[in-house]
Structures are given as structure tokens and as C-alpha cells.
Structure 1
Amino acid sequence: MMKVPMLEKAERYLEGISDFGSMNLNSLLEYHHIHQYFENGLFLERWTEVQKSSYRKIIKTAFITLRKYLYDLRDKDFIGVIDELEFDNRSNFWEVFRYFEVYKKIERKTFEKILDAHPHHVRYILPLKQIVAHFNTELRAFLLTYEESAELLLTHYEQKHDEPSEYYFPTDLNDTDKQDIIAAYLDSPSPNLNYVDLALHSKHLKLPPRLLLKAKQTSERVKDELLTEENSIKISGRAALNMDQSEAVIFEGEGEELTTVYGGAFFDSIENDLKLFSVFSPVFLYTNQEGLINLVSKHTELNILEKIGMQSKNEYLYGMYFAKKDMDALNQLMIFDLYLHKKGRSIENLLHLVIHGLFNSYFKIPGLTFSMPDAGLKPVDKIRLLAPEMEYLLKQYKNFVSNGEISHELLQMDSSQVYFSDIPSLLERKYIYSDHGSIRTIQYHFFDQDSVLADRKDSNGRRTLMKAFEAGKVYRSDFEDYQQQFIDQAVEAGDLLINDDGEVLMADPIRVIVAGKLRENGFISYWHYHKPFRDEIDRLIAEGLLRTSDKLLTSEEVNYFNFYLNKREYTNGKDLRNKYLHGSNIRDEHQQRADYHYFLRTFILILLKLRDDVTLYKHHYGSSLNRKS
């Protein structure tokens, strides 16, 4: 839609042509803009073939004049010409500089002078491979001293883009050069925090530990200088245990004084350990009703600034809502640990009993072994004992699902690490997800507050289309004039219907409901639903709108575990498993205690996922877990 005004402007240039020879460089470069439109097949619909042919001839003449203009320039004139370039023509200048191979006729010293006079033009030069290759040595020398070189490197190698970065760097610029550039930037008086954090979370630049430490220290210093109580948001959470309280949870106070109080008497009323362990799901909400982990970072929970801010390719993206969930979940774990301590028990003992009671006694998985660390050990020792036990538990489960039995002799022959993404479920079609464009369109039209169909007249605030359907009947006349074409598009796509009374209806309500659930959680746990709904999901799978997974964990859950336990995927993760097993953990006992709670919470989530899998299998296929049906 934006191209029409630009093409109309181009038409004025083409119709008003006079003498190319009298034009300056800025005017001639306008015809390069027009040439790019034509090369991409962009023309006004009203233009006839005769007009198009005539315009192409004009462009050809303009190009001949432009080439002659550039070739006639003396080396000493280039800096002055570049001085006079309009902003919109700077990139175009270097494009034609490459296209006409002007770079082959100027002296290398001239190119160096251009960079010295206009250093910011390097951003237009780096996307042009031929120029970068030709001035390889000169560009390396320039980048070694240019104050924004680190930002260029980090933008190219580490920043997340919707499209791949198009920069080419001189081949003479080696890894040592790049590290020196990053080091100098971190030592500079006012480094940009966004780029400092890109360096901190870098992977592709392969920065050595000393530079990563420098980036960490610089990030902390800059944050201390920038963040104050006036310009930052404090995330806090308070939790307490009342041993006499019979309610599961109550809230006391408000604002920053809000305290979540959990009831010891409520925990006392739970009749056995397996049900006591279950408080992590319906009370603490570690998982939802479908057995999906609530604590993962969800795109729908990010605010607009968190979505559009500079992001690393290598970071686990999360925002304030995730941080609040994380804090609340840790508080809940510590409250529960405190409750057990008051009862003369430990959480380690409870989890040991739950594993054996659940998997050995109740579900009767033959040969499964597990041992929790002793509650009296130091946190660092608990992690070092629990990490391999947790991994072996997952290996046993994978072996059981794949082969119908657990072979410890076979597992002992395999010392490789188990990956969360490789663990199978007992159930085929465990999860439903979608990457289909029509599902994304439904999610946008029906559930997004920023949808073009959400801002309806006579409504208070931005009500989504789905909320409008839930509130009552919806009519075409309810929508503004600018929305009508989008209503027509939704009807044409088969998402909406309009009856003879002008009432707007959902063409396929199940498809909309499924799209909404996928927008909220990313996945649907197939076997948590009754057969009529599963049949409808099967229909949408057959139509190619939905895809299935037969893994124990969703991809979002895999990402969550990788964020906390290792740095396989994310450089901003806590790396709890690896740093303790390899002895690179922090020596501070307070931090070790916090890390143990993180690790323990991760293990509890894994147990909840395993319990969900075997429970669903038993419910749908009977009591035997000896083979898949």
C-alpha cells in the first residue's frame, strides 16, 4: 500500500524530465530509486505497456548519465559530493558505486579519506560484498579504531533480527581483532548497555572467559549508574505460612505489602504423600489443568517494550511477568519446605517417597531406581548428587517408553547426556501445536487487543472480537467503515459468516477455540480432552492446520529446562547442572542455597510431567504400562 504514493512521485519525475546533464547527484539518484521499483515489478496499475516501455528508456538514459557523472569525478571531489548527499540517497550512492564498479577506479587513499570524513557511511558499505573485498585492508584498519565497530560486530553476530544481517566484514579482520574491538568498547567511558549485554550473552563471536567477565562487570556497572528507584520497576513478592490456617491460600494487605499466606492446617488435611505432592499443581500452579508448565516464558505475557527491545540471538527471552512467576514459585517451594520442616520432615524425603510410591508401587514401572540426596547435606553437595540422579531417571523413562522395559545394563553402556527434546511420551499425539498461517490469522483477529477488528465503536476500551462474541450477538453494523474490508477478508478466509440479518458468526467455532488455546499456551495437551473435542482436533489435523508431537515435553518446556540447567541453547541461562558438576559454581553459600531451590523446583516440574504422562496413559489404555497400545 505504501508503494503507491512512491510510484506516483516517480511518475512526476518521469513525466517532468528535462535535461539529465544539468542534474546534480541527488536528482540522478532518485532515478535509481525508481529503477529498484521497476526491477521488483512495481508499477502503477493505470500505466499502459507503452508508458512502462517509455519509462524504462528514461531510466536507462538516467543510468548512463549517472555512470558518466561518477566516472568523471576526480578523487579529490568525492568527499565534497558525499557531503552533499541527502539522507535518503546515502545508501543508494554506495549501491551505484558498487553497481558501476566505481570503487575500482579510485585510489585506496581516497577511500580512507572518505571513511575518515564520513565514518558512519561504513554502515552503507558493509552490506556490499564487492566493495568490502576490494578495500579489505583499508576497512580492517578503519574498524580497529572506529568507536562504533563493536556495535557493528555485535549487531551482525549476536543481535536477533527478523531477517539475517547483511553485513560483510573484511577477511583480514581476525578473531583477535574482533576481541580487541569488543574489549576497547567495554572499557570506553559510555558503552551502550544493550550492546554490553549482547557481548555478555554472545556465542558466535566466541569471546574468551576474560571478555565475558569484563562484559558482566561492565553491565553491572552501567546498570548501577542508570537504574534508580525513579526510573526502574521493583518486582517483589511476599509469602508466609500460617500453621493454623485451614484455607489453602489467602491474601493479606495490598500493593507492595501484599502477602500470600499458605495454610499449614490445609496441608495437614491432605491424607497421603502423593496427594500432598499434588499441591504443586492446583495450589502452587506449577502446571495447569492440561499438565503444561505455567512457569515458562510466554510471548503473550511480554509487554510491548519487551517485545521490540534489542534481543540477543542466544538469550532466553523473558520479561517482568516471567520474573514475577519465577519469584512466586520459589517462595512457594520455600514455604512448603518450611512446612515439612515444622513437621519434622524434609522435602527430599517427601520426593523420595513420591517417586517410589508413584512409579514403583502405583504405576508399577519395573526396575526403576532413584535416590534423593540426604536432607542434611550442604546445597552444593545436594545439587551434585541430584543432577546425575535426575538425568538417570530420565534415561530410564526414555528406555522404558522406547523398549517397554528398563535395562540398566544397556543404560550403563551409554554415558552420553540425555537431551530434554529427545524424551518420548508414552502417548502418541501427546501435544498439538500449529505454525499454520491461518491459525495465526485467527489468533490475531479474534484474540489480539491490537487487532484491526478489536477497536469497535461504542465499546469501552479495546475489546477483542472473541470478547464481543462472548458478550452477545455481533452485527456487521457494529464495525467501523475501515474495518469492513477486514470483515470481508475473514469471511473469504472461512473464519466468519454473515447471515441475512447481518449477524456476524464464527464459521468454525472449534477452530477458533483451538486457536485461542494455542495462543494462550502454545500447545494443547491432546489426551486431557474428551473424545468429541479430540475428534474435532483430528479433523483440523487432517486439514493440515495442526501438527502433533509425541514427546514428553513441549518445545517451550524444553527451552525452559535448558535455560535453567545448561547453556546448550541460551547464554543467559543459569547453567545449574553444568557449573556444579564442573566445579565452576559460585562459592557463596547463600547463592548455593538459592541455586539448590532452583534445581529442586526444576526436578519437581520434571516429576509433574512424568506423573502426567503415566496418569494419562493409564487412564486411556488401562493399568498396564508394559507396552504402548
Structure 2
Amino acid sequence: MRVEYDGVKFYSDFDMSLSYNFDKARKILEQFEKDIKYTNVNQIIELYNIYKIFTSKSIKAEYTQPYNIKVKQLIPVVARYFRGISDTSFLKQYHVVSVIYIDDFWELFDKFKVYENVSSGTFKTLINDPETTLYNILKYKDITRYYDTILAECMRKSDQTAEIIIEKFLEKKTQISETNCYIPPSLKPAEFEAILDKYIDSEYPHIGMLQLLASSQSSAECPISDKLRLKAKRAAETYLQERVANGVGISYGIGVMFRDSDQLISMEVSKSNQYQLTYDASWIRNNQDYPTLLNNFVYLFEYTDLHFRCTFPSVRSQLGIFEKTLGVKGIKEYEIGTAFRISDMKSSIEMKGYTAFISGFNIHIEDIYKWFFTEYLKDEFGVHGFIFNPPSYEQSFLEKCRNLPSEMDGILKQYNLFVQYGSIDRELLEMSSNPVTFDTLPSMINNKYVYANSAEIEREQFLLFSDQSMLHYLPNIKRSFKNFFEVLSSCEVKISDYPEWEINDIRWLEKRGTIHIDTSGMLHSIDSRVRLLQDLYDHDVVCPTYYRDKAEIEKLVLTGDLRYGNTLFSIPEQNYLNFMLNKSEYSNGKDLRNRYIHSTYPIDVHQQEQDYMCLLKIMAVIIIKINEELCLKYPVN
């Protein structure tokens, strides 16, 4: 068991403990003399942490200036001690290092090349101890290269190796775990499969690691066979089934019902997180014309909002703090959370219920889609040449899933030709073999979308709307707020209500033109700017077409804080479509297009039905987006 040492610790320039540790460090520095003979390695490492604190950009120079001479003397003292560590004293020194200083020990071991004084035999004794965390060592390239052979030998046997491989090659780096690590050159990628296979069979594999293995793609750096991915998938499923059987976890569900009601839409929520949505059946029964049945996807089911942004994509602002920071996420993973899962479940069951309900009137959704392309576009806009042959109602779900993605691609190619040439030349279409990607499909509307384009605009949004911004915490007001914007909107607050260390952020927002501070110190939001930033924060994209006053947008584009985009689908929509239809962009993609085209589909009919509902949803969104383009391009009085 390691010794306890209540020492000064530097975590980062932005850590909330920085002020506390600065006060502790200042007292120690006042007693520091460069000629003191230190015998405790923890005291030496503490001096190194004091040096980091006093050279931090987050500490004002006026506070550190009186100590500049002593601060400059710290590193020579630390260097002298570490360079004095020998082969015989190394293990003794390491084992008395406090747990809070382990990472610093290896940083200094590398910085002052202590490895040149420690033999391979001694180092081997240390790394073969199960209590030694290999990751702390592998963060340093020179140490890893110096002890290449014995580190590789150790990692072939160690229980830590599999997770190190997964974290390095498969896991997405976050602010919490952004440090890279190095694999000994002698440990070859061809050896990884056996190490990972052993990990899956181990007694306590991490569920997140198993899921990541199952969804990751093979690469030259980290080859993963399909057999290994399947084994990881089955192990993860078994783990989750056992937890559910033991009552561990949170469940939620959604039900959809069509029945006569006084309300067009109503919802009931049970204590067990079960949502029951009820839609007025009489509305649909009395409005069976195809335009209204299509409009229901917008105004009844809300597949898009009133700016015609699809509501399906995962949006960063919808992720909770634990969803953003905890768990294991893949390098190419489409990041989703509970809000996305509930929305996806809701829209899919709405499609299933809706198609079943209208089939009772002998109306099939596939026929409505065909009518849109072959009749509506011609009659409403004079647009000719679109051909769409959807699957028939009688076909199996397997046949439908094979047919619809192909027709979907055809529609997007036809749309692309229409935008480029103003008409659809069928012979030209038939000659084209180039795939159309979602990010290259153009819009007919200039400056259709607006996106964030600077770190400053991201910071503004964070300070205003994130629940992780400390500006919404007011110790003198006995009320909780969701974010700083809610503070400004719901109560009178002065700049003097905030501690000194938060005033810099408030002054910065004032300088940016986001808030105004009057002569009494009262804070006020600049509504036009804040509304725009909230729209951007909530959706990751803004649609200028639907803004009456575009002055704020144009101003922020000129300053480089925002940028325009001119595509059929917004970037969040492109990402969602790639996640659902392909596997090239995201390792956890549903791959609905390729799995049916290449006959790697699931044989479970229920899963095929679910996949078809997803494809029908996507087709509905494509229709809505194309219709929006034409309505904006050719407005009707």
C-alpha cells in the first residue's frame, strides 16, 4: 500500500483546485531554499508541481512575480535529485511515491533520462509487478523505446495490454483521456488478435471495451477479424442480459396509438419511463389526401422542425455530461445518447403505426411517395422527369429493404442533375456510375445553412447555454438555474453577484456583444444575438431563410465566427444519413444500404421490419427536403 502524502498537485490550467493548490504552494515556496538536502521523493515531486502552478497561464503575473527567483531554482533541485536515482535505489524510490504523484514520477523519469541509470533487469522487476500501471510508462516514447524488448515481453502476458491496445487504436480521445501512449516496437500488430481474444474470455472484461471491439473496423495498425468482433458482440450481449435479469439498469419505452380524441396529439408518461403517444384518428380519417398525409410527417410527427431541419440527428447539446465524458467511445463512432435513442424509437414506432393505420383505408405510404415524385412535382412546380419505383405493399420486408435504398440513390442522383442542369436527362443519368454523397448534393438556395466557425463562438455558446458553465451558479441566490441564459432571462443579477474568478468570462461576453452591463452593474442579454446563438447551440445549424432579420448572421459571417453552407442536407443531417445508411464514416453505423445490397442482412424478420421503418423515415425526410428546396426556389403566392 502506497504512502499518503497531502502535497501540492497541479492538474491543469483550468482545474478548479488551482487556486487552492496555489495557496498551499505559496506557503511551501516561502520556506524553500535551493541548498536544502531533500531525502523524500514526494517532496521533490511536490516542488515540480509547485513550479507548474507558478508558471500556469491561469495565475496572474502579479501573484507570481514576488516568487520568480525561487521558482527558477526549483527545476535544478528536482533535476539533481532525479539524476541521482541509481539502479540500486530505483525500486525503493518508486515504491514510496504517493499515489497522487505516480504520473509525475514517470514524467520526471523521462524528462531527466533516469532510464539510462536503471538496468533492464531492475526495470523488468517493476513492470512485472501487477500493481504497476503500464499505461503510465507507455505515455513516454523514449522510455518505451529504451525498454522495448522487456516491455513487449511483459505486455504479451499482462492483463492490462488489451485495454491499452483498445484505448490507443480504437477509442476516441476526450479531454479527460487525450494523452497518447506508445506500443513497444517489438510487440507487433499481428499479436494483437490473440491478446484481445484472451481479454474477451477473461473474468471481468469491461462492457464498453467489448462493445467498442464489436463495432470497430479493422486497420493495419490494429487488425480485428470479423470472428473476434462477433465474439466481443456476443460477450457484450450476454453481459447485458445478465444485468437486466438481475434488475440492473434503466428501461424506457414508447407506445403509439391512433384513436378519436379531442386533442390532435397527447402524451402520458408513467413512473416506469413509459411514454404513450396518442394521435387523433379522426384527423387522419377526415384528411386522406396525399399532401396532408405527407404534411403529417412535419406537423404531426415532427420529423422536421418548422425550419425544416430534420429532428433525427444526434446533437451535441442533447448529450448529458456523463454521456459526453464517461464510457468508451470509438474513434469513428457516431456519438449518441438517451435523447437520440428515445427520438429514434419514437419516430420509428410512429412510422410503423401510421403506415398500418392508413393501410386500413387502402392507402400505402409507398404510393404516396411515388405520387410526390411523379405527379406532385410536375403539377406544382412543372418539374418533369423524376422516376421512382418503390417496393410494392405485398413484398416481404427483405425485398422492400433491398429495393428502397436503390430507389433512394436514384432520386438523389435525379435531384442532383436537376439542380445542375435544370432538367433530368435520363440518358445522362444512365451513363453516370459515380456515387452521390450527401455532402456534395447542392442546394438551390444560396446561403441555406449557417454553422459555427470559430472557437470564440463555441465558447460563447458554452458560457450561455451549457449546464457546465459556472455562470449559472449564484451562491447568494437560493435557486437553481439550468444555464446562464436562464439566469439572465428570469431574474435581475448584477456583476457584483459573481466571484472575481468568473468576472473575466462576463466581461468577455460583454466585449463580444452578447450581454450588456448597465451603469448599476445589472446584466442584460442582447436578444437578437442570444436567440441566434441558442438556435445554433440547440441544433448545430441555423437556417437563415427563416430569419426576418439577418443582420446578426451577416455580421458574424463577416467576422469569421459563422460560415455559410449550400447543400441539400445540413451537416448534422449528412452525419445522421451516413450513420444510418453506410459504414464508411462511422464504425457503429447501421449500414442499412449495404447490408441489404450485399446480402449481409439479418434473417430476423422483426429486425427487417424495423430496418424498413428506418428507410421509410429517411425517404420521408428526403421528400420534405426536396419539397422545401422547390418551395423556396419557386415560391407560390
Q: What TM-score results when the alignment is normalised by the length of structure 2?
A: 0.88
| The 10-residue stretch of structure 1 (260-269 or 463-472) with the greater mean CA deviation from structure 2 | 463-472
* Partner SS for 1:262: strand
1:520 to partner: Cα distance: 1.5
Residue 60 of structure 1 aligns to which amino acid in structure 2?
A: P
Where does residue 412 of structure 1 map in the other structure?
430
Equivalent-residue separation in structure 2 for 1:361 and 1:85 (angstroms) = 80
Equivalent-residue separation in structure 1 for 2:76 and 2:465 (angstroms) = 50
Q: Which of residues 533, 545, 548 in structure 2 aligns to 1:527?
A: 545
Q: 1:430 to 1:60 in 2, by over 3 A?
A: same
Residue 274 of structure 1 aligns to which amino acid in structure 2?
A: P
Contact 1:490/1:496 (<8 A) preserved: yes
Residue 577 of structure 1 aligns to which amino acid in structure 2?
A: R
* Partner SS for 1:568: coil
Equivalent-residue separation in structure 1 for 2:232 and 2:173 (angstroms) = 22
Equivalent-residue separation in structure 1 for 2:322 and 2:433 (angstroms) = 44
Residue 124 of structure 1 aligns to which amino acid in structure 2?
A: N
Structure 1 residue 559 corresponds to structure 2 residue 578? no
Where does residue 130 of structure 1 map in the other structure?
142
Equivalent-residue separation in structure 1 for 2:338 and 2:451 (angstroms) = 26
Where does residue 345 of structure 1 map in the other structure?
363
Q: Which of residues 169, 172, 175 in structure 2 aligns to 1:157?
A: 169
Structure 1 residue 175 corresponds to structure 2 residue 193? no
Equivalent-residue separation in structure 1 for 2:129 and 2:509 (angstroms) = 54
**Residues 225-236 of structure 1: matches in 2 within 5 Å?**
225-228=242-245, 230-236=247-253
Gaps of 5+ in 1: 624-629
1:43 to partner: Cα distance: 8.8
Deviations 1:176-204 (A, max 9, x none): 21111111100101111121122122235
Structure 1 residue 78 corresponds to structure 2 residue 90? yes
Where does residue 297 of structure 1 map in the other structure?
314
1:486 to partner: Cα distance: 4.9
Equivalent-residue separation in structure 2 for 1:475 and 1:94 (angstroms) = 47
* Partner SS for 2:363: coil
1:553 to partner: Cα distance: 0.9
Q: Which of residues 279, 295, 306 in structure 2 aligns to 1:262?
A: 279
Structure 1 residue 248 corresponds to structure 2 residue 264? yes
Equivalent-residue separation in structure 1 for 2:518 and 2:288 (angstroms) = 56
Residue 491 of structure 1 aligns to which amino acid in structure 2?
A: E
Structure 1 residue 273 corresponds to structure 2 residue 290? yes
Where does residue 593 of structure 2 map in the other structure?
577
Gaps of 5+ in 2: 1-12
1:422 to partner: Cα distance: 1.3
Equivalent-residue separation in structure 2 for 1:104 and 1:355 (angstroms) = 74
Where does residue 611 of structure 1 map in the other structure?
627
1:277 to partner: Cα distance: 0.9
Equivalent-residue separation in structure 2 for 1:435 and 1:396 (angstroms) = 32
1:20 to partner: Cα distance: 4.9
* Partner SS for 2:91: helix
1:489 to partner: Cα distance: 4.2
| The 10-residue stretch of structure 1 (453-462 or 582-591) with the greater mean CA deviation from structure 2 | 453-462
**Residues 21-40 of structure 1: matches in 2 within 5 Å?**
21=37, 23-34=39-50
1:219 to partner: Cα distance: 0.5
| The 10-residue stretch of structure 1 (79-88 or 381-390) with the greater mean CA deviation from structure 2 | 79-88
Where does residue 206 of structure 2 map in the other structure?
192
Where does residue 391 of structure 1 map in the other structure?
409
| The 10-residue stretch of structure 1 (534-543 or 514-523) with the greater mean CA deviation from structure 2 | 534-543
Q: Which of residues 381, 384, 409 in structure 2 aligns to 1:366?
A: 384
Where does residue 335 of structure 1 map in the other structure?
353
**Residues 581-592 of structure 1: matches in 2 within 5 Å?**
581-592=597-608
Equivalent-residue separation in structure 2 for 1:447 and 1:396 (angstroms) = 41
Contact 1:447/1:516 (<8 A) preserved: yes
1:109 to partner: Cα distance: 2.4
1:361 to partner: Cα distance: 2.8
Contact 1:246/1:264 (<8 A) preserved: no
Contact 2:190/2:223 (<8 A) preserved: no
Q: Which of residues 214, 223, 234 in structure 2 aligns to 1:217?
A: 234
Residue 124 of structure 2 aligns to which amino acid in structure 1?
A: E
Deviations 1:442-463 (A, max 9, x none): 4334434454333455564325
1:582 to partner: Cα distance: 0.6
Q: 1:100 to 1:516 in 2, by over 3 A?
A: closer
Equivalent-residue separation in structure 2 for 1:477 and 1:52 (angstroms) = 33
1:131 to partner: Cα distance: 1.6
Q: 1:5 to 1:476 in 2, by over 3 A?
A: closer
Contact 2:261/2:279 (<8 A) preserved: yes
* Partner SS for 2:414: helix
Deviations 1:223-247 (A, max 9, x none): 12223574322111111222x5575
Contact 2:34/2:73 (<8 A) preserved: no
Equivalent-residue separation in structure 1 for 2:140 and 2:282 (angstroms) = 71
Residue 186 of structure 1 aligns to which amino acid in structure 2?
A: I
Q: What TM-score results when the alignment is normalised by the length of structure 1?
A: 0.89
* Partner SS for 2:128: helix
Deviations 1:443-491 (A, max 9, x none): 334434454333455564325444455457x352894556666544433
Contact 1:369/1:393 (<8 A) preserved: yes
Contact 1:246/1:266 (<8 A) preserved: no
Deviations 1:244-266 (A, max 9, x none): 55753344685557532323321
- Percent identity of the aligned residues? 24
Q: 1:59 to 1:478 in 2, by over 3 A?
A: closer
Deviations 1:348-393 (A, max 9, x none): 1121112222323322223222211111111111111111111111
Q: 1:135 to 1:252 in 2, by over 3 A?
A: closer
**Residues 67-106 of structure 1: matches in 2 within 5 Å?**
67=83, 69-70=84-85, 73-75=86-88, 77-106=89-118
Q: Which of residues 330, 336, 340 in structure 2 aligns to 1:322?
A: 340
User: Aligned pairs, how many?
Assistant: 611
* Partner SS for 1:218: helix
